Structure formats: structure tokens, C-alpha cells
Amino acid sequence: MSKLSEDQSNEIEEARSNVSSTLRAVSPGMEEILYRSMPVLDHGFVRVVDYMGNDGAVVQAARVSYGQGTRQVSEDRALIHYLLRHWHTTPFEMAEIKLHVKMPIFVARQWIRHRMASVNEYSARYSVLDREFYIPRPEHLAAQSTSNKQGRGEVVGPQEADRVLRLLVEDAERNYDHYLEMLNSKEDGTRVDDARTGLARELARMNLSLNYYTQWYWKTDLHNLMNFLRLRADLHAQYEIRVYAETILDVMKRWVPITHEAFVEHRLEAATFSGEALKALRRLLAGEKLEQSDTRMPKREWEEFRAKLGIA
Amino acid sequence: MSKLSEDQSNEIEEARSNVSSTLRAVSPGMEEILYRSMPVLDHGFVRVVDYMGNDGAVVQAARVSYGQGTRQVSEDRALIHYLLRHWHTTPFEMAEIKLHVKMPIFVARQWIRHRMASVNEYSARYSVLDREFYIPRPEHLAAQSTSNKQGRGEVVGPQEADRVLRLLVEDAERNYDHYLEMLNSKEDGTRVDDARTGLARELARMNLSLNYYTQWYWKTDLHNLMNFLRLRADLHAQYEIRVYAETILDVMKRWVPITHEAFVEHRLEAATFSGEALKALRRLLAGEKLEQSDTRMPKREWEEFRAKLGIA
Amino acid sequence: MSKLSEDQSNEIEEARSNVSSTLRAVSPGMEEILYRSMPVLDHGFVRVVDYMGNDGAVVQAARVSYGQGTRQVSEDRALIHYLLRHWHTTPFEMAEIKLHVKMPIFVARQWIRHRMASVNEYSARYSVLDREFYIPRPEHLAAQSTSNKQGRGEVVGPQEADRVLRLLVEDAERNYDHYLEMLNSKEDGTRVDDARTGLARELARMNLSLNYYTQWYWKTDLHNLMNFLRLRADLHAQYEIRVYAETILDVMKRWVPITHEAFVEHRLEAATFSGEALKALRRLLAGEKLEQSDTRMPKREWEEFRAKLGIA
Amino acid sequence: MSKLSEDQSNEIEEARSNVSSTLRAVSPGMEEILYRSMPVLDHGFVRVVDYMGNDGAVVQAARVSYGQGTRQVSEDRALIHYLLRHWHTTPFEMAEIKLHVKMPIFVARQWIRHRMASVNEYSARYSVLDREFYIPRPEHLAAQSTSNKQGRGEVVGPQEADRVLRLLVEDAERNYDHYLEMLNSKEDGTRVDDARTGLARELARMNLSLNYYTQWYWKTDLHNLMNFLRLRADLHAQYEIRVYAETILDVMKRWVPITHEAFVEHRLEAATFSGEALKALRRLLAGEKLEQSDTRMPKREWEEFRAKLGIA
């Protein structure tokens, strides 16, 4: 489990002890968790550092109103569903969230591909990284999928798992030992050898492996957060980023419960059918029996089509 | 002066009467003005609708800290100045502001060119626009500049001003009369002629002129706000957008006083010298007397160079 | 019809007479139309000014290849369909298009909302606009829709049409006359009265109405072009921007015929079903008869659902 | 030195053998190097894969012209210098470049922070990475700077360098051996043990260190390219990304020689002075002798101020 240092925990609780008055819109569900660390993977976390707006901010902007813009809950709910169903995006850009996230570097490399966000990352040019690296739990050590070139298949056997875990731990530890050695630094930050200055941090870091943890402040708006979640909370996303997305999906539910509900309904549980798929659908509804060869869909789309409809 | 309707004022005061507790960072200067309308031009305004973060958010992100990240005011101030002087941008993206702005359409057309912002505009496809248009005050009726192809020169004489103002008012009023006529609508929204449905709003609006007022919600981060202000609070900006920028500059001062101070110092009052200008500067410092022909600067850059240095 | 001046036509034909050799990927369909003006509305046009890449650029980037990256046409086609079906976006960002567009200002105001593009607009601060304004053809003079608050309904009767057209033409002409008068300028650009300097262009322009034509260079990538086309070639888009989108859709077909085909199949002719809609769909396929009240879809979504399936 | 495989070289030469006719603007300097690999570091490269526009595209867009928009070279040159001097950005967005780059992962992590670009990266979820990692040359093995917390100081001594290089090579080789072992793969891609499927590629890759090479297609416009170059060709940039920036700076000189010249003059060789620095400058020009304490500049700004002016 991810452990914060005592200093870090104190910083967080001090931040939580500062209660202020504000005229701004507030999200009660977010106030409860603000600043607190939600553990993810073995050393990672997600912390909400700040937010702006709530469900009301979406309807307020959609209505370009002078006050809060909210009316009856049922009207607001219908509007939010309508906006999402019809792919309106700008009202959802009007609410903002800021997270502090700690994650393995290979997860950070996928995450950063979402460009519509602001990022401040902990700098390994400026500071020494901690001896913290990700080691999967045995049940997540999956073999290469045989059907999907970029996915996972079955979990590997216990013997193979042991071997993999041993290699991962040994290499990560050794690489860190040598990182410190190049820096001429002991674990506590003091020098090993006063005669050496040690290699520049920006160089020594290259010896660390991609499972080392990094951290950043990440800020985005609700629209772009949903784009992130749609891709990364999906079953095709790599497990190690999906658990972050799932944690953030829970945060979203606290923050903007109505938008969350509409997002699940119109994005996560929705499915898109191509022109050819729609033709096939109409024929099925008219009572025809269809094989792939009766349609113009390629094999893979045909299988996806059947999966969406729950046809065996 | 810009007058809000009684309904609008009530909406605003109701929003201001909702005081909540929050654990988030607060900007006291912003709480004082939240939701209130600051008049700009004859019918326009700027209202702060929401904000996220304050000066502390900048240092918190720059330090990727666990708590507020702020230390001594003098350290925070030095850090913010350092960041702006060295063109660091991402920490300033970590604070966010949302404004409700009402402005003439030709101002909105310049404003929208700043793409790194979110916008929800009042829709003239969906609603009927009000009879509100911008008429400059006589002292702002400037002639075309003779030296600057896109600027203003001297104020025109009183007779010419009268003529211009009469034309602007008459045409705007007539265009609005005809807008309503095409819509088959009276001023109060009721129909003129029950036998007619009236032209679609999305068509009728094309008869309105560019000085008609529109309004939008506009949200951006502190970094992009400074980009906006640097260009639009500049003397080369058109007067009618500059007064909006100046109003927002005052808002910025309330919101993030330290960043505002650093922004004035390192952007608004700063000047950039090209490679050739730097060479000339060094020669001047060495005691040389220089004419334009002694340098490789073109005439216009030479004049700008002298202006920056306050050389007559 | 849109008429280019002789000078403009000459400029275009001169540009077309410069044939060069290049090692870059070429799109034969684009070379045929490069620089030429495709008329839209009464005075508008779309011109392709430059492009980068073709269908091959998409597969080349998806494969991060060393050469052109293309294989058999059938493989490339399958890959492009796959990418679009699974919402991959980055390979489509690797092809770029640059257009010169002339359109009414109210169309430009919708267009500019697509932020992921580069724009250089003709400046009415710098230059005098021409006496060119959009007047709809009678068959496009639609009444306000009674069912859709932002749409059009039936075409208005001939008498009402005459009245509307007369108002639009008269107001546009008068506003332009007064624009010139304020500028102290005759139609040919010479002064009316040597004693007056004339109002600054940046001020006088505010007297023009929103149907006046403006023009710009607009550059975007294929991914963002498809986003634009999906929204603006849609039946819910205003007619006056839709005709531009349809013209550009033809351009896209010439430029990247395979991507165009896949775009029609997986975007334009596709439909998305929400979680509730999918449940209803499965029940229908299982032979149930359904009314709206048997589902949890609101009335409007239910109607859209039936329309997508072509159920009467 | 970076070696392409024979297949890759053949792919490149085949691409170069396809000469086409085009009516588009051409940059002769770019045609000469198109597709060819320019080596950077020990295994990296930069290759120009495509481009759109040349210096003419900048002036064409600035003038919203119907043809090429270029006039006399001296006029075009003056316009481009003017645009850069006055921070106009949109005309420079009208030219586009696409590069294929191979670089160490820690370089890619800095590079990707430039969000205004399109990227397709070689996927280590989908494919196995090669045994290629960056090892600095001894003369680049610098110690941590004592004055700059994120910079390099003196080169380390030969003994320390030997030790560092040995650790870097041994760890990288061992990590790769274990990467293959987890994948159950030999160097040639065949299986080690038919009874094992091997760990999923998306998991095994986490054992590789940050000096392993990755590659991507990267596309951006000339404006954003200059932003990249201003930061990354700067002396404060890490050496390992600076050599890429310098290579691309040479590419830029071939592509858009006039813009390159103006960029060097108005960005790379330019300096910005704050409000306080300008005051000090005026006092110096008036003949005053100044110490830091006579000004309101902090110590570090004062030193930068003197460095800009070349004052000992």
C-alpha cells in the first residue's frame, strides 16, 4: 500500500484544517475527500487538490445565466442528458478539476498523450527520485494475448510469475543502487565520497526503469476528463492505467453526480453502429437471419456488432 | 451605462447570498466582487462567475507539493517573479477563472481568436437578441491613423462626430426594427401578425450590425489570461477591447496580487531587444553615438528601439 | 454567383502554372483543383491553397514506418476503417489541409468555434471591406421551426419573402453607403471630401451587418476536419454553413478517398445508442413490442431511437 | 553511429525515387533531404517525412492573398521580420512539418511536453523494442552543477566516467536480457520455451530503463516549432534534447531560410528586459554607475542583466 511520509500526511491534514467561506459553487462530495490520498497500485495515489464548479456549472453555462442557472433538479438532469446525447461539449468545459497523481512512468507516458490538460511534473533533473517502483501482483501477470496484438491473455503460471517478479524486483533495486552510486549519494542524501561531486541528476536518472514512480499535478476540464475516462476506464486500456481511471470515475461521481450518471448512460454503456451495421440491424429487426457474409461488415466488425447486441 | 434588468440583479444577489464552507484555496479579493457586474462601454460588462486557485496555486504546482505549497511570502514572491522572468508557463495554468462578458460583436470577434479558452455564447439561433448596440462616445471617434494602417489618429471634429453618431444610431435602430419585423415580433416578444410565423431567428439576425451586443461565458487559465492581457491591454489594441482587458487586469490584481505585480514588471513594462538592437545597445553603453544607418536595424525597428530606451 | 476580379483570377492561374517536382506524397485529386475557386452561396467560395499527405500519410503514421508505409490497397483500407471505427485519432492528424474561404460574417462566427485550426482573417482594421453581402434565395427563407428552438421550419410565403429580401438588401446597401461616408471614401477608394480624414476603419466597420462577407485562410488536420464536417455537414447545422461543409466534403473525397469512404460509413451514416437504448434494442430483437413507457428513455430520445432504426 | 537496417534504407531510397509533379509551393532545401536520416546521439535520428509551405506561405497568409502572395524578396523579408518582432503568430502556423524522430525515452518525455503537435509513437504494447540504448560519450558525463539545481557542471574525471559508463551499459544490457526472458523471446523473435507464452509486452517493457530508444512521427507548425526550438536549442536545455533541437534548427534553415534568419535575430539572439531592468538601462545610458543595490532587481536578475549586456 502507498504510504505517505509523516510530513506529507501533516501537510495534507493542515490543508484540510483551513476552512474558508466562499460564495462560489461548492460540491459537497468533493469537500469530503479534498487533499486526501486515494491509493492506487502498490505506491501510487490520486488526490483531489482543487476543483471549480459542479453539475450546476454545466447548466449555468449552457443557459448563459446571470445566477446559478439551475432550476428544478429534473430539468437540470434532462438538460445534461440532452447535452451529452447530442455531443455538446462546451458546457462541460466549464467545470475544472486539479489532481495530484503518483504513478509508474510507463503509465505517465500513456496519460500525457491527453494534451488538453495542464501538467507540472516532479523534476528528476532538479530532485532525486525515491526508491519506489511498481511490482504487479501475481494475478496481474498476464501473458501476451494471442488474439489481440496489444492486449493481455491468461495469467501466467505460479512458477513463471515467481521468476518474473524476482527479475523485476532485482533489476529495479540494482538500477536504483547504481543510480545512487552515480549520484555519489547515500539513501539519506548524504555523499558517499567527498572527493566526488557525483553525476548530474539529469543524467543519472536514465538508469531507472519505466516502473519507477513519478508524480504530477494534472488539471483538466470535465469535458476532457470524460474523454480521458472513456478511453482509459475502457476494458481495452492497460490495467495499470485503468485503475487510475476507475478511481477518478469515483471522484467524478462525487463531484458531478448528474453528469456522471449521464456519462455512464451515453458514453460508457453506449455503442456506435456504422452505416452497414445499422442496415444489418434493420434487417434483423425485420426478422431476417444474418451471417457475416450477408452483410458488408468485415469479420472483426461483425463480431463486435454481435457483442454489442449480446447475440451469442 | 449598462443596466441589468431587475431579474438579473436579483439572480446575482441571490447567488451572492449563498455562503458556503470550503477547504479549497480562496482569494479574498475575488470573493468581494464575485457575480457582480463591472460596467464596460455603454452596455457591456465583465462579471467574475467562478475562479480556482490563487497565487498559492502557482507555487504549489511549481513545487508539486502535498499541501498548499506556500512558504514565506517573500519566497513565494521570488519564485513567481523567477517563473515569469524565465518564461515558465505551466504553473500559471494551474489557476483558472470564469467570466461572464457582454460586449459588441466586433469585440467578440477579436476576443475569440484566443483559442486556449472555453466559451459558451448566447445563441441568436435560439433566442432573440436585445435592442442593445454600442455607440462610441465622441472623444473616441478617432480618424484613421496616417502612420499606422490599423490604428487611430486624431479625434474627428464635432461636426463630423455628430454626423457619424447620427448614422450609427439611425442604422442600428432601423436594422433592429427590421429584425423584429422579419421575426414577426413586437418588442415585448408577442407576434405582430398572427397569420405569419416569422423568419427563423438564425436568418433574421444577419440584419444586425457588428456593434450589437452579444454575451458569453469565458473560461481560461492564468497563463492564457496573461497572454490575452498582454495583447489586449496594449496600446496597439483597439480601444473597445482594451477597456475590457483593463477591467480584467484589475480583476487579476484582486485575484493573484503577486502574479499581477510580476506580470506588470516582466511583461507589460518589459521590452525585448533583437540581436541587432543588443549590439547597438552595447555600443551606446560604450559611449558611441549612433544613427540608424550605423546599425542594421530597419527604420521602424530603430524608432521602436529609441522609444523603448526613452531616447528623444 | 461569386465573381473573382480579373486580378484575382490571374493570380490563381499564375499559381497553377508553376509546376514543380517533389518527392513528397501527392494527392492527384487535389492537384486538379488546387487554387481554383469553388463557389458557395451568392458571393462565397472555398479554395484549396495547400495540402500535406494523402490516405498513405494515415497508414504511414499508424505504422511509424520508414517509407510510405502503404501496402496493398485492401490492407490500407482495412486499417483506415479499423482506426475510425475504434476512434483512433492521431494518425488522422498527420494529414493537413489549407483552405481560403469567403463567407458571411455570421457563418464565420460559427466556424471559428472549431479551435483546433489556424486562421488568418482579412482585417477590416487594416483594409476596407467590399460591398458584398449575403442575400438568401427565396427557397431558403424559412420560418422559425415550431418544434426545434434553434431550427428552421417551412419556407415563408412569396409575399413575406419579397418583404424580407427587400429589407435585407436595402439595409445592407444603406449600411454600406454610410460605412463609406464615415470613411470619407468613394467606392473607388478616393476621398469624398479632402478636408476630412474619415473615421478609422476599425470603427466604421461596426456599421456593417452580419451578412457581409469576410474571408480567411483556414488550416487544419484531417482529424479536426472530420470533427468540423460531422457537425457542420449535419442536417441540424444552419443551411448557410452546411453548404460550405458539403463543398469541403467533396474536397475531402478527392484528397483522401479511402478515409472519406470510412468517414461516411463510421461517422456520417453511423448512430450511437445509449445504455437504455441498447437494452430496448435487445428486447426488440428478442421479439418484444415496445412503447416509450416500457423503457427508461425520455420521449425525445425515444423518437430519435425510432428514427435511427427507421421504425415508423 | 545510428545504423538503419538494410530494409529501412531501402524503404527510404524507394520513397526518394518517387518524383511527382505538384502545383504546391516547394522548398528546394527540403527536397534534398526528404526521408533521409540525420544521425543524433549514438542511435537516434531525425528524418523529414513531409512538409507544407515555405517562407512564401507565411506572407501569403499574412496578406490573405489569392496567389502565392510573395512580392519582392526584400518586401517579404521585411514583412517576416516585422511579424516576428511584433509577436504575430498565426501566419507562422500556416507552414507545417512532419518528422520521424528516434530518441531516448527520457528525451521523449521532455519533448512530449510541447502539446501543440501531433504524435504517433511506436508502441511497446504492440511490438518488441530493439536492444538500443543511449550511452553518453565521456565528454558529456558532467557532474551536477553546484550553482544550478537542474543543470550540469564540470565533466567528471576519467575514472568516475569509466565507472559510470560500465554501470550504464551493464544495467541496460541486463535489463534487456530479462525483458526478453520475460517475453520468452530470443533476440531473433523466436520462442525460448515452447511451453510458455511469455509475459504481455505491455508488462515486460516496464523493465527497460529510460535510456532505451523509442521513436515517433511528430508533426507541428512553424510557429510551434519555433517555440520548441527557442526552449530546446537554448543552453539551459539538457544536452541530449538540445542536439535534436540543433539538428532541427538546420532543417528549419533549409526549409524557410528567411524565417530562420528572423528567428535567430528576434528570438535566439534577442533578450527581454523587465521594467526595472529598463530603468537601470536608461540610467546606465545617462552615464550613471550602478551596483545591484542601486536597483530593485534581485541578485540573480542583476547578473542576468549584466550578462545580456556583456558587462563584465
Domain C1-134+213-270 in this protein, CATH class: alpha beta
- Give the confidence band of A1 by pLDDT, cuts at 50, 70, 90: very low
- Give the confidence band of C197 by pLDDT, cuts at 50, 70, 90: confident
In chain A the first and final C-alpha atoms are separated, in Å, by: 41
Mean of pLDDT over chain A: 95
Contacts of D178 in chain A (CB under 8 A): 167, 171
Question: If DSSP states are collapsed to H, E and C, what string results for chain D?
Answer: CCCCCHHHHHHHHHHHHCCEEECCCCCHHHHHHCCCEEEECCCEEEEEEEEECCHHHHHHHHCCCCCCCCCCHHHHHHHHHHHHHCCCCHHHHHCEEEEEEEEEHHHHHHHCCCCCCEEEECCCCCCCCCCCECCCCHHHCEEECCCCCCCEEEECCHHHHHHHHHHHHHHHHHHHHHHHHHHCECCCCCECCCCCCCECHHHHHHHCECCEEEEEEEEEEHHHHHHHHHHHCCCCCCHHHHHHHHHHHHHHHHHCHHHHHHHHHHHHCCEEECHHHHHHHHHHHCCCCCCHHHCCCCHHHHHHHHHHHCCC
Which residues face D22 on adjacent strands? C20
C-alpha cell at C108: 464565420
R_g of chain B computed on alpha carbons: 24
User: Given CB atoms, is A125 within the 8 Å cutoff of chain D?
Assistant: yes
Q: Rounded CA gap, A14 and B23, in Å?
A: 10
Which one of A261, A281, A300 makes the best mutation probe of the C interface by having the most chain C beta carbons within 10 Å? Answer: A281
What are the tens digits of pLDDT across the range B218-227?
Answer: 999 999 999 9
Nearest CA in chain D to C60: D217
C-alpha cell at D148: 544550478
- Tell me if B263 sits within 8 A of B164, measured CB to CB: no
pLDDT for C142 equals 94
Residues in chain D: 312
User: Given CB atoms, is B8 within the 8 Å cutoff of chain A?
Assistant: yes
> Which residues 6+ apart lie within 8 Å of D5 measured at CB?
none
In the set D63, D131, D152, D232, the catalytic residue is D232
Q: How many angstroms separate the CA of residue D238 from the nearest CA in chain A? A: 8
Contacts of D41 in chain A (CB under 8 A): none
User: Given CB atoms, is C312 within the 8 Å cutoff of chain A?
Assistant: no
R_g of chain C computed on alpha carbons: 24
What are the tens digits of pLDDT across the range A257-295?
Answer: 999 999 999 999 999 999 999 999 999 999 999 999 999
Decide if B274 and D85 are in contact by the 8 Å CB cutoff: yes
H/E stretch holding C71 reads none
> Which residues 6+ apart lie within 8 Å of C287 measured at CB?
none
User: Given CB atoms, is C115 within the 8 Å cutoff of chain D?
Assistant: no
Nearest CA in chain B to D115: B90
C-alpha cell at B152: 487611430
User: Given CB atoms, is A42 within the 8 Å cutoff of chain D?
Assistant: no
pLDDT for C271 equals 97
User: Given CB atoms, is B21 within the 8 Å cutoff of chain A?
Assistant: yes
A221 is in an annotated binding site: yes
Burial of residue D2, with CB atoms counted within 10 A of its CB: 0-12 exposed, 13-18 middle, 19 or more buried: middle
- Axis crossing angle, helix A299-309 with helix C73-85, rounded to the nearest 10: 20
User: Given CB atoms, is B56 within the 8 Å cutoff of chain A?
Assistant: no
Q: How many angstroms separate the CA of residue A271 from the nearest CA in chain B? A: 28
D20 is in an annotated binding site: no
- Tell me if C128 sits within 8 A of C185, measured CB to CB: yes
A113 is in an annotated binding site: yes
Nearest to D197 among A143, A201, A211 (CB): A143
Low-confidence stretches of chain B (pLDDT < 70) are 1-2, 312
Nearest CA in chain A to D133: A206
B114 is in an annotated binding site: yes
- Tell me if A170 sits within 8 A of A249, measured CB to CB: no
Contacts of B168 in chain C (CB under 8 A): 206-207
pLDDT for B2 equals 52
What are the tens digits of pLDDT across the range C227-278?
Answer: 999 999 999 999 999 999 999 999 999 999 999 999 999 999 999 999 999 9
Q: Rounded CA gap, C271 and A308, in Å?
A: 13
pLDDT for A68 equals 78
Q: Where are the alpha helices (DSSP H) in chain B?
A: 6-16, 28-33, 55-62, 73-85, 105-111, 158-183, 201-204, 222-232, 239-255, 257-263, 275-285, 299-309
Query: Dihedral of CA D191/D196/D201/D207: which sign?
Result: negative
Q: What percent of chain C has pLDDT over 90?
A: 88
Decide if B178 and C171 are in contact by the 8 Å CB cutoff: yes
H/E stretch holding C276 reads helix C275-285
Nearest to A50 among B25, B120, B122 (CB): B25
- Tell me if D102 sits within 8 A of D207, measured CB to CB: no
Decide if D199 and A156 are in contact by the 8 Å CB cutoff: yes
Query: Dihedral of CA D146/D147/D148/D154: which sign?
Result: negative
pLDDT for D1 equals 44
Which one of D14, D23, D122, D128 makes the best mutation probe of the C interface by having the most chain C beta carbons within 10 Å? Answer: D23
Decide if B178 and C201 are in contact by the 8 Å CB cutoff: no
- Tell me if D90 sits within 8 A of D269, measured CB to CB: no
- Give the confidence band of A2 by pLDDT, cuts at 50, 70, 90: low
Query: In C, residues 138-157, which contact B (CB 8 Å cutoff)?
Result: 140-146, 149-154, 156
pLDDT for C290 equals 95
pLDDT for A221 equals 98
Q: Rounded CA gap, B95 and B92, in Å?
A: 6
Nearest CA in chain D to C49: D24
Give the domain D1-129+213-270 fold: Gyrase A; domain 2 (3.30.1360)
β-pairing, A213-221 with A96-104? antiparallel
Decide if A274 and C309 are in contact by the 8 Å CB cutoff: no
C-alpha cell at C255: 484528397
Q: What angle do CA B231, B235, B237 make, to 5 degrees?
A: 50
Nearest CA in chain C to A306: C282
Give the three-class secondary structure for B27. Answer: coil
Chains that touch A (3 or more CB pairs under 8 A): B, C, D
- Tell me if D220 sits within 8 A of D114, measured CB to CB: yes
Domain A1-134+211-270 in this protein, CATH class: alpha beta
Amino acid making up residue B286: A
What are the tens digits of pLDDT across the range A39-56?
Answer: 999 999 999 999 999 999
What are the tens digits of pLDDT across the range D268-281?
Answer: 999 999 999 999 99
Secondary structure (DSSP) of C136-189: --GGG-EEEPSS-TTSEEEEPPHHHHHHHHHHHHHHHHHHHHHHHHHHTB-TTS
Give the three-class secondary structure for B58. Answer: helix
Nearest to D271 among B264, B273, B298 (CB): B273
What residue ranges do the domains of chain A occupy?
1-134+211-270, 135-210, 275-309
Chain B / chain D CB contacts < 8 angstroms: 78
Whether the predicted pLDDT of D69 surpasses 80 = no
Which residues face C99 on adjacent strands? C48, C218
- Give the confidence band of A138 by pLDDT, cuts at 50, 70, 90: very high
Whether the predicted pLDDT of D224 surpasses 90 = yes
H/E stretch holding C250 reads helix C239-255
Contacts of A149 in chain D (CB under 8 A): 126
H/E stretch holding A39 reads strand A37-40
Angstrom CA distances, C133 to B297, C108, C209, C235, stand at 43, 13, 8, 24
User: Given CB atoms, is A274 within the 8 Å cutoff of chain C?
Assistant: yes
Nearest CA in chain C to A298: C78
Sheet holding D44-52, edge to edge: D37-40, D44-52, D96-104, D213-221, D118-121
User: Given CB atoms, is D89 within the 8 Å cutoff of chain A?
Assistant: no
Decide if B275 and D265 are in contact by the 8 Å CB cutoff: yes
pLDDT for C2 equals 52
Best CA proximity match to D223, nearest among D271, D254, D250, D262: D262
Known catalytic residues of C are 232
Amino acid making up residue A245: A
H/E stretch holding A23 reads none
Q: Where are the alpha helices (DSSP H) in A73-200?
A: 73-85, 105-111, 158-183
Best CA proximity match to C206, nearest among B125, B205, B172, B206: B172
Decide if D125 and A206 are in contact by the 8 Å CB cutoff: no
pLDDT for D150 equals 79
User: Given CB atoms, is B51 within the 8 Å cutoff of chain A?
Assistant: yes
Decide if C34 and D20 are in contact by the 8 Å CB cutoff: no
What are the tens digits of pLDDT across the range C33-83?
Answer: 999 999 999 999 999 999 999 999 999 999 988 877 778 889 999 999 999
- Tell me if D149 sits within 8 A of A205, measured CB to CB: no
Any idea what DSSP says for residue A191? B
Decide if D301 and B85 are in contact by the 8 Å CB cutoff: yes
Q: How many angstroms separate the CA of residue A256 from the nearest CA in chain C? A: 19
Contacts of A265 in chain C (CB under 8 A): 274-276
Which CATH number does B6-134+211-268 carry?
Answer: 3.30.1360.170
β-pairing, B213-221 with B96-104? antiparallel
- Give the confidence band of D4 by pLDDT, cuts at 50, 70, 90: confident
Q: Rounded CA gap, B59 and B227, in Å?
A: 19
Nearest CA in chain A to C264: A275
Any idea what DSSP says for residue C207? G
Decide if A210 and D160 are in contact by the 8 Å CB cutoff: no
Angstrom CA distances, A221 to A90, A98, A145, A228, B220, stand at 10, 9, 35, 11, 10
Query: In C, residues 68-87, which contact D (CB 8 Å cutoff)?
Result: 68
pLDDT for C147 equals 81
Q: What angle do CA C4, C9, C10 make, to 5 degrees?
A: 150
- Give the confidence band of C146 by pLDDT, cuts at 50, 70, 90: confident
Query: In C, residues 205-224, which contact D (CB 8 Å cutoff)?
Result: 215-217, 219, 221
